[in-house]
A and B are shown apart, each in its own frame.
Chain A
């Protein structure tokens, strides 16, 4: 059994990486009261921008990831102008961003359908990789997967230990109060939204330049939406978000290992599993209204103007 499990767990971590990036970004944005349903679109835009940069520059993933982050941030900027500066309905703006992202990425992606990229070799962390079982799973990964975990550490530290984290939470909790004591609410929300865009773009670029590494139309395949669901599941707590992302990473790659594990279910069922699991997880967490209300940023999704 264990010899089957190790490759699954190794794959789980990589499959979780785009969810961790996108989920952390959305988590920070939602902490300030901004719900951006455009994660799927930003990931797609990041994926195609990253792929194009990687392919055109010949720089591979090293060029692709920053390009994806910048593209995701620009996409988030459009959302921010509409929903923050102009106080348009956040849910509708996010949907628009997703629809736009699907169209734009497909449009640009036409030129890149037959390209393939080299991807990234796993990077062993010296010493740690030799720990039995654990070493193979956690310390024999591609560098971007480590980067995702480092981002988690940074986000956790900022939210938990710094004044900035407190300010982000305050703005999401009561923008009027934050404004009254002198915080620039709109600017802070812009910052968080753009951070969310950069992270989503990076997650998308990871998919197209490292994970696959190919451009396929609509290749994000709902991961953006799953990332949004993960934020709810995590009750806006970054540690739970990473655990949730690992869970979903595992469910996602199960279909590739089903045969080895002797699971005789239709392939379509296994492919649908992550989406079904999202629904189940949402139901489990949402039924406890008090738990959600205690953690939900009180101003989430509500337009605010000074």
Chain B
């Protein structure tokens, strides 16, 4: 006898509570983990969640990390609503970074205001094109986008490796796989001395506002949502299934591509093999944790950025491996999926004893 039964209508409070429950459970299991490693959980949480935010630079770093996560997640959320699973945003980020970075390499020495905007546009196109490939394969050949997007992410990694080892390698870089350092016209200028936060965060903010309007008000987003919830209903209504695939994958490729430019023209400052600490994958969690909702994604992106910072701090202060961030990310997503079940289901009440 199953323990769960469907609710007559999805529970709205549960939809909002579920991420909080997931965070709570992650913290709970996290403290058990810390204790098993012989660390004081309270101290660990201070290091993880308080210490990174106790300085101006900490807040700056939070923005630096939250920006790309939020930007990518906004794009992914559109596809996830339509059940189009782009899990290769990391590859689209890299191709965006390559396209944008290529502009910077080509225009090295050109001192003009339009270099940076051109890089952003190039990055957007690069990411969108890399997203368009699986869209073409899906609409034309029916190939699963889950697998193709991910495979193309690996291909993007090797493309990046080839470019920074070959054509775009810095001739004075002592054979390190990296491009030249970009000049000022090709960089987002830091807002504050000694901090890395810069105007690229405004792109994420503007995108969030635009996606909020798009998802909550536009008929196109409504069509995508119907396509995800009930594909047969979308066909019946006459909404284009192929259009859904194209819109989802191009939009998410585009945002990931811009995020890639934000990295190479921001904190990284060149093309090298470490332009992303897995933002493309972490953004998947951000999108789900934020309920595929533009505002929720902003909050989730900030939390995930904090998790990255906390992981770095824990490495220094507690001698914990940095991989603990990945562990927490995975746990968070598991708990979220588990508590999300209760949006549509509830526990079956124990049958009342009946006396015949």
Contact = CB atoms under 8 A, between A and B. Distances in A.
B281 to A, nearest CB: 6
15 contacts: A37-B146, A86-B4, A96-B337, A99-B330, A100-B329, A102-B326, A104-B326, A106-B327, A222-B151, A268-B162, A269-B158, A272-B158, A279-B152, A289-B142, A305-B4
Interface string A97-132: 101111110110110000000000000000000000
B148 interface: yes
Given A107-B327, A278-B147, A99 B141 contact: no
User: Could you say which of B3, B337, B341 has the most chain A C-beta atoms within 10 Å of its C-beta?
Assistant: B337
Contact of A229 (B151, B165, B324, B327): B151
Interface of A: 37, 41, 78, 82, 85-89, 91-93, 95-97, 99-104, 106-107, 109-110, 217, 221-222, 225-226, 228-229, 232, 266, 268-269, 271-272, 275-276, 278-279, 282-283, 286-287, 289, 292, 305-306
A57 B191 CA distance: 55
Contacts of B147: 225, 228-229, 232, 278-279, 282
A268 to B, nearest CB: 4
B166 interface: yes
A278 B330 contact: no
B333 A96 contact: yes
A103 B166 CA distance: 32
A106 B165 contact: no
B158 A268 contact: yes
B155 to A, nearest CB: 5
Given A100-B330, A103-B326, A282 B321 contact: no
Contacts of B154: 221-222, 272, 275
Going nearest first, the 9 A-B pairs with the smallest beta carbon separation are: A100-B330, A103-B326, A106-B323, A103-B327, A272-B158, A268-B162, A96-B333, A110-B321, A275-B154
A89 B326 contact: no
Contacts of A268: 158-159, 161-162, 165
Contacts of B159: 268, 272
Nearest to B340: A88
Contacts of A109: 323
A276 B156 CA distance: 11
Contacts of A88: 337-338, 340-341
Main secondary structure of the interface of B (DSSP, over half): helix
Interface of B: 2-4, 83, 85, 87, 137, 140-144, 146-148, 150-152, 154-155, 158-159, 161-162, 165-166, 281, 284-285, 288, 321, 323-331, 333-334, 337-338, 340-341, 345
Contacts of B155: 272, 275-276, 279
Contact of B284 (A41, A78, A95): A95
Contact of B341 (A87, A97, A282, A287): A87
Contacts of A228: 147
A297 B4 CA distance: 25
A54 to B, nearest CB: 20
Nearest to B83: A91
Contacts of B331: 100
A86 B345 CA distance: 9
A112 to B, nearest CB: 11
Contacts of B328: 103
A104 B330 contact: yes
Contacts of B337: 82, 88-89, 92-93, 96
Contacts of B146: 37, 91
B38 to A, nearest CB: 14
A232 to B, nearest CB: 7
Contacts of B326: 99, 102-104, 106-107
Nearest to A229: B147
Contacts of A278: 147, 151
